[in-house]
Structure 1
Amino acid sequence: MNRLALGTVQFGLSYGVTNTEGQVSEVSVQEILQEASQHGIDMLDTAAAYGESEVVLSKQIATNQFELVSKTRPLSSMKGKLDQVEKALNQSLDRLALHRPLYGMLIHHADDLLGPQGDDIWKLLQEKKQQGRICKIGVSVYSAQELDLICQRYAIDLVQLPHNVLDQRLRISGHLQTLQDNCIEIHVRSAFLQGLLLLQDIAALPVHLQELKPALARFQQRAGELGCSTLALALGYLRQQTAIDRVLVGVVNPQQLTEIIVAWTEAASLPLHCADDLAIDTEHLLNPAKWSLLKVSQ
């Protein structure tokens, strides 16, 4: 299971368009971490911007069993002051390092690294790496354009990017292969498109996302043809992308994690390329950051 990593945004916020349970309780967090550890999942992904997530994790003794990846606070939230960036970074490291280097620290917003203070932020992270507080420096991106600009300017170790059975753009463009060829570690988020891929009744789609119905219907039909669950097919597509190092999954209870672990194992038997033709290329549907704009336009 060491290609799976556990996302923790739900530990600090009520997150996800299909999340009806809200923020995960600290008791449930402990149970989820125990379940993950028992099945060989050894990495947690968090961020300073994920509400109380870092604080919650810092209270969990079980966190010591995991490698940790976190993300910087957005520069915009600190009025562009580098000293505040360093202060926030140190707070994250103090909370999460747990007497060892943090596995990875990502720039949460690529624009911070591409802006006028990008070189200063990069230098600051390099200093933390040289001090032994961080093992890998990376960035979270939303598009191929952001990724290209970052890689032209900085020798990143790690990138987190969106990818799923509907959003295959970075595979089709060759970016996943190029990243692998350059020994840049790839972590994938949005594996289930904020849970939309796992909706049993696509008629329940929010009004502003109705355009996704045909793609979701094709996806569900393919799972039926293959005799597998939609969960297994969503994971199976990602499992077949050998360039991907980690697939981030978020859960709100231990049962959901167990289902994912079972489906990940089942997905190994799916035919190669069985979902490659399910891709769509519609930015406003594939990028959850655009969904609020769709909602307003309704």
Structure 2
Amino acid sequence: MAKIGLGTVQFGMSYGNKSNEQLMAYSEVENILNSSIAEHIDFYDTAVAYGLSEERLGQFDLHMKNPKALISTKIPVVERSIWSNEQAYFNLIKDYSIRSLKNLKMEKHRLLQFHQCDLEFLESPSVKNVFARLLEKRVAENLGISIYSEAEANSAASIESINWLQVPGNILDRRFLTSNFLDKMKAKGISLMCRSAFLQGVLVEDADLPYVKRLKELRHLRKLALEAIGRIGPNTSLKSLALRYLYYNHYEDLNVVLIGVDSNDALLQNIGLIKQNTQSLSLNEISEFDEARRFLSENELFNPGSWNR
């Protein structure tokens, strides 16, 4: 059953949509983490590549203050010359994992994820051997992959050592939210966490859009989404529907719905929106976004990493 998880990239690096975005003050990190504990959030997503995020979670003593929480970090992308060498890659991951445990002030990794997800990597026998050794040597209790495409998801899910996938998903991008995909993952025993609930601000009415080369297309995508909201009815917010869709329509399908925030107020607002309306979206409400979905798909705007190309 879905629960809210907190993404922490904003804790460690400038990750906003403004060109002059500054690193979040540590006092605000403390406020957010204190609120997350008060609101019973017990899943936190971080990564080696997230700047100071791990260190700040450790500085707060999150593992001690929220001992039931699952704090998961991710191993960064490395070159083929490294991951194709089984011993070298195993040693590198072990070094990263030890460093992360020190940063996070934890004794073990309950879930260790990988940012790397290209098919050549996932289908490499040496990589699969490394994954098996990581579990055998108890470097981590569980392993997961953060993926972007259906081919990557299917490849990752076929690896015996992998039992978590982090997938993008929202009211516009439903590639990984179909009954076919969800049933397939459930049959394989794969736990799912879903990121990109707001498509990096596109699905938040008053958020600044990313200053990227494809800004014009993002503006049109938001316009189409807002037109859908207008047809659904008054007193309805795009952000609220985006949250309700992931949390309530897929309550039984997803293990974790990740949200990232740039302030404590934003976290409390998001949680308030989830509590305020506990109804899943109707099929008619979901279908109002069909035009926006087609535009997203036809222009291949699924991955924010491609918006600057």
For normalisation by structure 1, the TM-score amounts to 0.86
Q: Aligned residue for 1:114?
A: 123
Q: Aligned residue for 1:296?
A: none
**Cα shift readout 1:195-225 (whole Å, capped 9, x = no counterpart):** 1211438899755232234432232233343
Contact 1:233 1:267 in 2 (8 A): no
> 2:226 is matched by which residue type in structure 1?
Q
The CA deviation at 1:2 is 6.7
Q: 1:209 aligns with which of 210, 215, 232?
A: 215
Q: 1:93 aligns with which of 101, 117, 137?
A: 101
Relative to structure 2, which stretch is displaced further, 227-236 or 82-91? 82-91
> 2:175 is matched by which residue type in structure 1?
R
Q: Give me the whole-angstrom Cα distance separating, in 2, the residues matched to 1:84 and 1:263.
A: 42
The count of residues paired between Structure 1 and Structure 2 equals 289
> 2:286 is matched by which residue type in structure 1?
A
Contact 1:33 1:63 in 2 (8 A): no
Q: Give me the whole-angstrom Cα distance separating, in 2, the residues matched to 1:185 and 1:166.
A: 22
Q: 2:92 aligns with which of 84, 87, 109?
A: 84
* Cα RMSD, aligned residues only: 2.7
Residue 292 of structure 1 pairs with residue 308 of structure 2: yes
Q: Aligned residue for 2:257?
A: 247
Contact 1:171 1:177 in 2 (8 A): no
Distance 1:283 1:108, change over 3 A: farther
Q: Which runs of 5+ in 2 are unaligned?
A: none
Contact 2:9 2:46 in 1 (8 A): yes
Contact 2:18 2:211 in 1 (8 A): no
**Cα shift readout 1:258-298 (whole Å, capped 9, x = no counterpart):** 110011123423543322552332463111111121xxxxx
The CA deviation at 1:155 is 4.3
Contact 2:46 2:74 in 1 (8 A): yes
**Structure having the larger proportion of residues in helix:** 1
Q: Aligned residue for 1:68?
A: 71
Q: Give me the whole-angstrom Cα distance separating, in 2, the residues matched to 1:49 and 1:245.
A: 24
Contact 2:245 2:281 in 1 (8 A): no
Contact 1:140 1:160 in 2 (8 A): yes
Q: Aligned residue for 1:8?
A: 8
Q: 2:140 aligns with which of 116, 134, 138?
A: 134
Contact 2:157 2:185 in 1 (8 A): no
> 1:216 is matched by which residue type in structure 2?
R
Q: Which runs of 5+ in 1 are unaligned?
A: 294-298
Q: Aligned residue for 2:286?
A: 275
Q: Give me the whole-angstrom Cα distance separating, in 1, the residues matched to 2:189 and 2:63.
A: 27
The CA deviation at 1:153 is 3.3
Q: Give me the whole-angstrom Cα distance separating, in 2, the residues matched to 1:49 and 1:219.
A: 32
> 2:303 is matched by which residue type in structure 1?
N
> 1:249 is matched by which residue type in structure 2?
I
Contact 2:212 2:307 in 1 (8 A): no
The CA deviation at 1:97 is 5.7
> 1:218 is matched by which residue type in structure 2?
L
What SS class does the counterpart of residue 75 from structure 1 fall into?
A: coil
What SS class does the counterpart of residue 220 from structure 1 fall into?
A: helix
> 2:149 is matched by which residue type in structure 1?
S
Distance 1:173 1:145, change over 3 A: farther
> Among the aligned pairs, what percent are the same residue?
28
Q: Give me the whole-angstrom Cα distance separating, in 1, the residues matched to 2:128 and 2:287.
A: 38
Q: Aligned residue for 2:134?
A: 125
Distance 1:2 1:147, change over 3 A: closer
The CA deviation at 1:230 is 1.4
Q: Give me the whole-angstrom Cα distance separating, in 2, the residues matched to 1:109 and 1:178.
A: 22
Residue 34 of structure 1 pairs with residue 34 of structure 2: yes
